[in-house]
Structure 1
Amino acid sequence: MMIFKLCLFSGLLLFYNAILFPCTDTAEIKAPKKLTFKKLYTLKGHVDVVQFLKILKDEVLISGSADTTMRAWSMEGTCIKKLYNSRGWINKIIELSDGRIACGANGGGINIWNMEKNSYITLPNLKKENYYGNSVIQLANGNLAFSTWKGDINVWDIEKDTCVKTTALKEHAAWISSLIELKDSNYLATSSWDSNIRIWDASNDKISSIRTLFGHTDCVNAVVQIDEKRLASASDDKTIKIWQIDCNENKATLSGHDDGVYALIIVDGKIISGSRDKTVKIWDSESKNCLLTIPCEDKIHSLEFSAKNQYLFVGQSGGNIEVFQIFL
């Protein structure tokens, strides 16, 4: 990495053969580190869109697809097992604190899988109420929170199989595409196809919308938390936006994709985006520069990253998952 030292002498910056004369006041500016990648292999088996990817604690990759199946993959690229989900295509997968897997499906309800036994349960009351689970997360207190096609949020006590709270009002005008819990807070954030992002207070009996982030001009497909102060969102308007959490301010707009941006993850403060333009881009969340563009074989719907192996998994519309090693 090249390092340049900047020195001030009588208000002038003195250069000599790209090396500055020594002086008392110095500041180091590090040239941006160049990122590189290599294609490793392609995971094949799904026959429809790979909607979601999740790496478990034991470094097993779980993929969920619109073909109504989940598959478990080793880091070496072997399909370990295939699980059929009777509730429809799979929208979101999470690993619960007890090691089980929960997945939201478009066919109604949330299935909770025991991977070792290759079996699942659907919470009876949740199924009876015909909740159409989309994005599902486990809150810090152990309860599940999930969004629905109707545009609301429900919090479910798994042990008691009962809804403990829901949204006070239906605030989103279209279905909720993603749901996250903000770190160290009682707040949730959602993205929606109504082109907005909302911040919710989940500390009371009813979940209330306290802030709306306006700025996208088309469906918002994902929202993620960069750090304690910032969010990032991905939209069909071909952009990624960076937001200040405690206000309505759009801090930056990242442009460069040629089609809608569907997938978004954060790795070491970097924003990784996947688009229907068949590219993955890695962005510096501070400088807002695009650090790397990775061409892919098909339209991108999901992303996941293994920090241990530096592997990037790219789920695509045709059912394949491309795997790249990223040298950060």
Structure 2
Amino acid sequence: MATQQEYLSNTQIPFPSYHDEADDDDGALYSHEEAQATPRFSHLLTSVLGSPFLTTSDLPGDADTAYAPSIPLDRMDDDAGLDMETVDGAFASVPRSFTITRPTSPTPSFRTDTFSIVNWNPEMYNLMLPGNGDGTPRCSFLQTGRRTISGYPSSHWSPTPSPTKVSRSLTIGMGFLPKIWDALREGSPSKRGRRRPAIPSWQDPELEYYSDGLIDYANMMPLDGEEGELIDDEACFIDVRAITGIDIVSHLPLELALYLLSFLDLPSILACLRVSRNWNHLARDNSIWRTLFSLREDDGWCVDLRRAHRENSSSLRMPLSMMPAPLELNWYHLYRNRQELDRRWSNYPGAGLSADLSDEAVAEQKEVTKAWEPKVMRISGHGDSVYCLEFDSSRIITGSRDRTIKVWSLKTGKCLATFAGHRGSVLCLKFDRDWDILDDGSMDMDDNVPRKGFMVSGSSDCTVCVWDLWAIPTWGGEPRITAEVRAVLPAHSGGVLDLRIDSRWIVSCSKDALIRVWDRETLSLHCTLRGHEGPVNAVGLQGNRVVSASGDGKMILWDVVTGARLRTFEGHDRGLACIEFKEDVIVSGSNDCKIKVWDANTGACLRTLTGHDFLVRALSFDPRSGRLVSGSYDKTVKVWDLRSGKMVREFRGCHASHIFDVKFDHCRIVSTSHDRKIVVLDFSEGLDTSLFV
């Protein structure tokens, strides 16, 4: 910024010369000719201060009779014929036609103290301070000992020197304008650091508060708002940052800004998207949405990176040896698709976003908005009732009363293979899910080498068959599935009603009221569990614990290693038909049309779900999402919220007869029935759910 003298020299505007302390004390005025040859002082004030002040040098007149910079009132000729007006305290008079009248200052109220901290007491001030004889009060700070703005002669202006040190700007004779300029020049925030330190009035011998002389405004402290009407420029200075705040995030390094945003939840991130363009760019970063997605893992939100490479390998027609880096995925779209998927499962539209909604709000949304209807696919091919099913990300395997096992494409419903090995109805089966996907995520396509899988099935012929499965890759199509019976286990003396497998055990149950545990590697019998008085219709396996459900109305928890009975559960009124055991939660379905939820550790019944009209034949639940799906002889499929015990969805008309089995994953429900049909309810229409598990 140009200095004051540079500014004056460039604009050639006459201005009083301020001397340093080394110069003489006499002020200097520009000559009359210089004043006439250059722009007026008022233009400087107009451009610098932004106020159209008028000086006496702007008054009309020739060069010989021009008005002096300041005309005392006692020298004004009353007969001059000019309509004169006093300017600010009668220090000078100018023709009225050349003045600009500014609004008057507000009159202080005698009824309130909110106008100023100065007590308005005319009598006290008239007694203590010199006045004009008209009772005009003065503003002073007597209690605090601060400066006063009084100090002018009580009658009128006089050139008599004051005992106090006079500012050179006052000797110019320009009236009140140089005083304001001094205050602005010395009191501005930019020059505050160079101001002489303030000296209290009782310590400054050159500053007299109640003297009749003038005050050195250049050495006075700036007005700070306590004097009422402010003239210092810092009174008008507004710190915009104090009002709007500082965008701290935008000033941080990118990595640190993203780290801070990673602590926010979904509503906060959505709000950040609307703050500014910079915040929108940060809030859309892939790492932010990956963090948000990972926070929902407890709700069952998971992705399988191997599937990403499987998709790529099928499109590139070549195996890939490495899984993609996590941030290679578009986590924003993954989050949005999974959120929409959860919303479709629920009977009200805000299921994914309004987990904290009250029951009243949920009921209101149910009444107003229609729930999402899944796409229905019906698969036919079996010659008789379909008793059991299992499915993974690409195929469905079913067992039927027609003594066959069939493999179906989950996407198209096409039958991929049919296996025959039992002499009776296939009542139950289990297999390793996605066995043809390698650990690195690719499909083994070198020389069409098949990928080996494992399956077991139980039948009314009292046997358990162990199968070797192979998925042979094909170019541009679904793998071709083949199977071969590895072993037949003479497990029971009655029909095998249910099976469970894990990496170590094979567990079977039968009409003969026995539970048998087999070693998966050697296929040798590990132990036999006895304790039920009726047929064991279902079993559940979790680690080294097995739970069994019988027609005698009891559930028993067993230790597989020792064969000991750990606990007996009683609560159903009639025989049990199905059971599911995951983590520490057991869910059972009974002929009493009820579903009960149990704590495996304590044996306590956590809640009872009612809603079916006939026997509850099949159950499937996910402890992470809290979603439970049940199938019944009443021909309905129901979806429950396991945590609250409330029914979320109900599907009627899917089957024309009893439902025998039901399974579900994140985006579909698959059920089988006595009507020989396999029904798939797909909630993922239009969404990319290929990576979800």
Q: Could you state the TM-score of these two structures normalised by the residue count of structure 2?
A: 0.39
CA distance in 1, matches of 2:521, 2:648: 45
2:670 corresponds to 1:313: yes
Structure 1 residues 129 and 234: alpha-carbon distance in aligned structure 2, compared to 1, 3 A threshold: closer
Partner of 1:270: 627
Match of 2:534 in 1: 174
Whether 1:101 aligns to 2:474 is no
CA distance in 1, matches of 2:601, 2:403: 38
Counterpart Cα distance in 1 of 2:594 and 2:417? 36
- Paired letter, 1:265: S
Q: 2: CA distance between counterparts of 1:81 and 1:242?
A: 37
Structure 1 match to 2:425: 89
Is residue 629–residue 664 contact of structure 2 (8 Å, CA) maintained in 1? no
Identify the match of residue 230 of structure 1 among 551, 562, 585.
585
Give me the whole-angstrom Cα distance separating, in 2, the residues matched to 1:161 and 1:292: 42
The aligned counterpart of 2:356 is 29
Please tell me the residue identity of whatever aligns with 2:641: D
1:156 aligns with 2:156: no
SS of corresponding position for 1:30: coil
Q: Is 1:250 matched with 2:605?
A: yes
Deviation by residue 1:194-217 (Cα, 9 ceiling, x = unmatched) = 11111111121xx22221111111
Deviation (angstroms), 1:175: 1.2
Structure with the greater relative contact order (CA < 8 A, sep ≥ 6): 1 or 2? Answer: 1
CA contact (8 A) 2:574 2:591 kept: yes
Residue 580 (structure 2) pairs with residue 215 (structure 1): no
Q: Deviations over 1:174-210 (max 9, x none)?
A: 111111112xx42111111111111111121xx2222
Q: Which residue does 2:661 correspond to in 1?
A: 302
Q: 1:15 is matched with which residue?
A: none
Partner of 1:186: 544
Structure 2 runs not aligned, ≥5 long: 1-266, 268-354, 436-451, 471-481, 685-693
How big is the shift at 1:127? 2.8
Matched residue, 1:24: none
Aligned match of 1:196: 554
Structure 1 residues 129 and 151, CA gap change in structure 2 (3 angstroms): closer
Partner of residue 14, structure 1: none
**CA-CA distance at 1:250 after TM superposition:** 1.5
Map of 1:133 onto structure 2? 496
**Which stretch has the larger CA shift, 272-281 or 90-99?**
90-99
Q: 1:297 to 1:139 in 2, by over 3 A?
A: closer
RMSD: 2.5
Please, which moves more after superposition, 234-243 or 149-158?
A: 149-158
Which among 394, 402, 408 is matched to residue 67 of structure 1? 402
The answer (yes or no) to whether the contact 1:180–1:223 under 8 Å persists in 2 is: yes
Moved more, 113-122 or 58-67: 113-122
3-state SS of paired residue (1:36): coil
Map 1:21-60 → 2, pairs under 5 A: 29-30=356-357, 36-56=372-392, 59-60=394-395
Aligned to 1:239: 594
Hey, what's the Cα distance between the residues in 2 that align with 1:121 and 1:130?
Answer: 21
Contact 2:618 2:660 in 1 (8 A): yes
Distance in 2, matches of 1:238 and 1:131, equals 26
Does structure 2 retain, via aligned residues, the 8 Å contact 1:87–1:108? Answer: no
Based on CA coordinates, which of the two structures has the bigger radius of gyration? 2
Amino-acid identity (%): 24
> Does the 8 Å contact 2:517/2:525 carry over to 1?
yes
Q: How many correspondences in the alignment?
A: 289
In structure 2, what is the Cα distance between the partners aligned to 1:138 and 1:241? Answer: 24
More strand by share: 1
The structure whose residues are more often helix, as a share, is 2
Q: Measure, in 2, the Cα distance between the counterparts of 1:278 and 1:235.
A: 15
Contact 2:545–2:559 under 8 Å retained in 1: yes
**Alignment deviations for residues 10-34 of structure 1 (CA, whole Å, 9 cap, x no partner):** xxxxxxxxxxxxxxxxxx8335597
Is the alpha carbon distance of 1:271 and 1:161 closer, same or farther for their aligned partners in structure 2, counting shifts above 3 Å? closer
Distance in 2, matches of 1:77 and 1:306, equals 17
What are the superposed Cα offsets for residues 206-234 of structure 1, whole Å, 9 maximum, x if unpaired?
A: x2222111111122111113x53321111
Give me the whole-angstrom Cα distance separating, in 1, the residues matched to 2:590 and 2:492: 31
Gaps of 5+ in 1: 4-27
